[in-house]
Amino acid sequence: MPVSTSPTDRTSDLPTIVVVGHGMVGQRFLEALAERGLTAAAGTTRVVVLCEEPRAAYDRVQLTSYFAGRNPDDLSLVEPGFMERHGFELYLGNPAESLDREARTVTARSGETFAYDTLVLATGSYPFVPPVPGKDAEGCFVYRTVEDLLAIEEYAKTATSGAVVGGGLLGLEAAGALKGLGLDTHVVEFAPRLMPVQVDEGGGAALLRTIESLGLTVHTGVGTQEVTAGEDGSVNGMSLSDGSSLATDLVVFSAGVRPRDQLARDCGLTVGQRGGIVVDEECRTSDPAVFAIGECALASDGRVYGLVAPGYEMAQTVAEVIAGKQAAFTGADLSTKLKLLGVDVASFGDAHGTAEGCLDVVYADSRSGVYKKLVIGRDGTLLGGVLVGDADQYGTLRPMTGTVLPVAPERLVLPAGAGGPVTLGPSALPDEAVICSCHNVTKGAICEHTTLPEVKTCTKAGTGCGSCVKVIGQLLPQSQDRGLCGCFSYTRSELYEIVRTLHITSYAELLDSHGREAARGGDGCEICKPTVGSVIASLAPTLGASGYVLDGEQAALQDTNDHFLANLQRNGSYSIVPRIPGGEITPEKLIVIGEVARDFGLYTKITGGQRIDMFGARVDQLPLIWTRLVDAGFESGHAYGKSLRTVKSCVGQTWCRYGVQDSVKMAIDLELRYRGLRSPHKLKSAVSGCARECAEARGKDFGIIATAGGWNLYVGGNGGAEPRHADLLAQDLSDAELVCLIDRFLMFYIRTADRLERTSTWLDRIEGGLGHVRDVLVHDSLGLCEELERLMADHVAGYRDEWAETINDPERLRRFVTFVNAPDAPDPSVRFTPERGQVKPDLDILAGPVLAVRTLEGTSSR
């Protein structure tokens, strides 16, 4: 009786396909029929399926996962309702017993006879049991079906040790299962290494070591001579070809499989010498009405494929042929990736390097159990490879087979972190590269979709062995939203353009007019507030807005440092850096700094930017300190701001015997010109008076080096964690040319950079790189230069010292109190202890060693 639909009068008139076998390939064939409307439900075809096993098709590849707690139903490959929906007639536990090709009938074990128009044999394979004496003793098993597993599990309850004959793929799976059942497990492999088909000698060695470390005993290079049994007829040991013997309670034969072609032989279909039903490229047997697919078929390239992927391809081919279309199966890739006993093993392409003149690239580390080999053709193309122990790159490497690798092959076999990062991503693959080899899906086909579920549904990619899912994820479009944050869908440079052209002078105005719908009318976030604040501040003189960063709404936009025009330090105190342009300072001014530091008990230190930093001021002391400093002619050094910090200089021509220009004067001029300029990130500069470069100008955002003929301008340098030497933008500039070019450069950077993007990363990121920047700034290719210069002129004209502005305005001064409700009370948590004759923060009185204050960068200035 069929478990699903019974034949009805209506269906019995339809052309009939009988499928013998309902394994993985049989089920795939049914799916392929359903996709083509070749079903009873579609009214086109009656399909009868005869299945020997008591259960419908299940994932045999994952068989061992039964022991990991998955129950047999979890392994099912048949969606609930699949058979019924399409009207497939599935007979379980009722295999085909005989064929009558003349009458075109199949007789099942139940005695029922089914007439067919088309017969598809998907009988699969059976485990090969070597003809050794005692192979049928009680306690001998094979490892092929769920029923085998259940029997092994039951028998293992009374056993303490087990042996697996065969160290191939399935043998190791079986060994893992026995180990998992708590047996002392041995693997006996006739070949000199494990998995001889898939991996080469080195790979086998790496595998051996890892598997032995799991507690399994491996005997390679020995054959099984006899299985010995006790008086009760049950297994008690094995004798091996090297004369040794092995005590074991249970033997699992897993020495390969053979095609199940008996049914075909019996009815006179042509079979291969070493088994397998001979088929042509359409998978048709010697009888045109009979097809054979999967492991029972001897394909037109003379091979029997024991892998599921080629079987699937054959299933597709036959369905296509039956549907009246053209299709051919001419052979398949034997690539595999598996996890055996927790060890990744993969092989692809010409893994054994059989091609003429091919070269190996190998990394093998027996201690970590890793073996990776790539086979490279004479012309540099990747021909294949073996990966053991670490097969992460399988997903990208296999599809690159047949192409020339874009990086040195050695870098692809080294573990991550050695020899530099390998940035070979799936984006490097050609469109026709097959990503999912189980379902033969190309990169091009995957890229037509946008989400993983969509890819899985529409192409089936990633639903087979699953090894390609990671790569698919990398191929799918990343989130397209380039917006600044949750409040704005525009980038910083787009916002800059909006603010500039629409003359928007407040954050709220910008948010309400150009924010995301959901964010409008809200308060914004910690990303966009300082960013927009900086943009408005950069453009303030041009927009006619107040340049003072603490005015009105602007104040609320700032980070803590900008908020108090000083740098927050770890105990909640602040540091103060007055501007010392070019590092040039008079003795009188030095004395003032000394007196201020002494009077307020501040710790002083010379910074890397040729200035003096005073640490340890409380918020309420800031205005008093500034007043003293401003009176002596100092102004803010903007050490707290995303703005110009310092222009460092060497002593230059005036004093130095080597100097060719007055670097100090140029540094002072530049520092005074660009002081207070708000930008996407801090800006640093330096001027060297000769090519000896004592001011280290090439480590700066813009650096100037004197030449006999004028000045060379370098841009995009950086020190810090990711050092970068600045690139030469223009050479031998006069003073005026230099200033003009820097004007353009800074304004162009401010206009186009992303938030918190230093000039170095900006220059590397911007399309066209340095060449483009030079075109725009030197050759005025975009016609922007005049405007850039005007913007800078506005900035220079509109500059005012923030400290002076603050202390001269009682309203602004009110901000500088620790407790809004007790303006005169100092912060009691800001305390100090002495060290080396100065003070240092007393952190013990704080709740923890690090204050939970969020800043966007290190707070001390350089």
Partner 1 sequence: MRTQTENAARVVVIGAGMAGARLAARVPGVTVIGEETHAPYNRVLLAEVLAGRYAAEVITLPPAEVRRGVRAVRIDRADRLVHCDDGSAVGYERLVLATGSNPVLPPLRGLGTTMPDGVHAFRTLDDCLALREAVRQHTGTGVRAVVIGGGLLGVSAARALAECGAQVVLAQQGEHLMERQLDAGAAGLLRRHLESLGVEVHTECRVRGLRCADGTVRAVELADGYELAAEITVLACGVRPRTGLARAAGLDVRTGVVVDDELRTSDPYIHAVGDCAEHRGTLYGLAGPALEQADVLAEVLAGRLARYDGTRALTRLTLRGPPADPAGVLDLAAFGDSRPLPGDDVVRLADATRGAYRAVVVRGDRLAGGVLLGDLAAVGTLARTWEDDEPLPAETSLLHLLTNDGGF
* Separation CA 680–CA 723 (nearest Å): 19
Minimum Å distance from CB 414 to partner 1?
7
Q: If you ran DSSP here, which 8-state letter would residue 376 be given? A: E
Lookup: tokens for 517 = 């719908």
Cα distance from N-terminal residue to C-terminal residue, the chain? 86
Select 411 or 840, whichever has its Cβ closest to partner 1: 411
Minimum Å distance from CB 419 to partner 1?
5
Query: Among the residues of 621-719, which ranges form H helices?
Result: 622-631, 663-674
Return left, alpha or beta for 27; rule: phi > 0 is left, psi -120 to 50 is alpha, else beta.
Answer: alpha
Minimum Å distance from CB 445 to partner 1?
32
| CA torsion angle 823 824 825 827 (round to 10) | 70
Minimum Å distance from CB 366 to partner 1?
5
Select 98 or 368, whichever has its Cβ closest to partner 1: 368
Select 376 or 455, whichever has its Cβ closest to partner 1: 376
Select 351 or 686, whichever has its Cβ closest to partner 1: 351
Strand runs (DSSP E) across 30-160, as ranges? 46-50, 89-91, 96-100, 105-108, 113-115, 118-121, 125-127, 140-142
Q: Give me the count of residues in the chain.
A: 862
Burial environment of residue 807 by CB neighbours within 10 A (0 to 12, 13 to 18, 19 or more): buried
Lookup: tokens for 297 = 């078929």
Select 419 or 720, whichever has its Cβ closest to partner 1: 419
Select 268 or 419, whichever has its Cβ closest to partner 1: 419
Minimum Å distance from CB 792 to partner 1?
44
Select 212 or 809, whichever has its Cβ closest to partner 1: 212
Minimum Å distance from CB 559 to partner 1?
40
Strand runs (DSSP E) across 549-676, as ranges? 567-568, 574-576, 603-606, 612-617, 644-649
Q: If you ran DSSP here, which 8-state letter would residue 66 be given? A: G
Minimum Å distance from CB 358 to partner 1?
9
Angle between helices 507-514 and 528-543 (to 10 degrees): 110
Select 414 or 485, whichever has its Cβ closest to partner 1: 414
Select 212 or 266, whichever has its Cβ closest to partner 1: 212
Q: What angle do CA 827, 832, 835 make, to 5 degrees?
A: 165
Q: Residues interacting with partner 1, by CB under 8 A? A: 202, 359-368, 376, 380, 408-410, 413-415, 418-420
Select 201 or 786, whichever has its Cβ closest to partner 1: 201
Q: Is the dihedral of CA 70, 72, 78, 82 positive or negative?
A: negative
For residues 242 and 224, the answer to whether their CB atoms sit within 8 Å is no
Minimum Å distance from CB 343 to partner 1?
17
Distances in whole angstroms, Cα of residue 488 to Cα of each of 291, 531, 543, 554, 750: 61, 11, 21, 18, 18
Minimum Å distance from CB 367 to partner 1?
5
Select 370 or 830, whichever has its Cβ closest to partner 1: 370
Q: In terms of Cα–Cα distance, which of 124, 128, 102 is closest to 115?
A: 102
Minimum Å distance from CB 501 to partner 1?
50
Minimum Å distance from CB 164 to partner 1?
22
Minimum Å distance from CB 723 to partner 1?
17
Select 57 or 387, whichever has its Cβ closest to partner 1: 387
For residues 799 and 537, the answer to whether their CB atoms sit within 8 Å is no
Q: In terms of Cα–Cα distance, which of 428, 430, 457, 456 is closest to 444?
A: 430
Select 380 or 633, whichever has its Cβ closest to partner 1: 380
Contacts of 536 (CB under 8 A, 6+ apart): 499, 504, 505, 506, 507, 543, 545, 554
Cα 399 to its chain centre, rounded Å, is 17
Minimum Å distance from CB 420 to partner 1?
7
Query: Cα-atom radius of gyration of the chain, to the nearest Å?
Result: 39
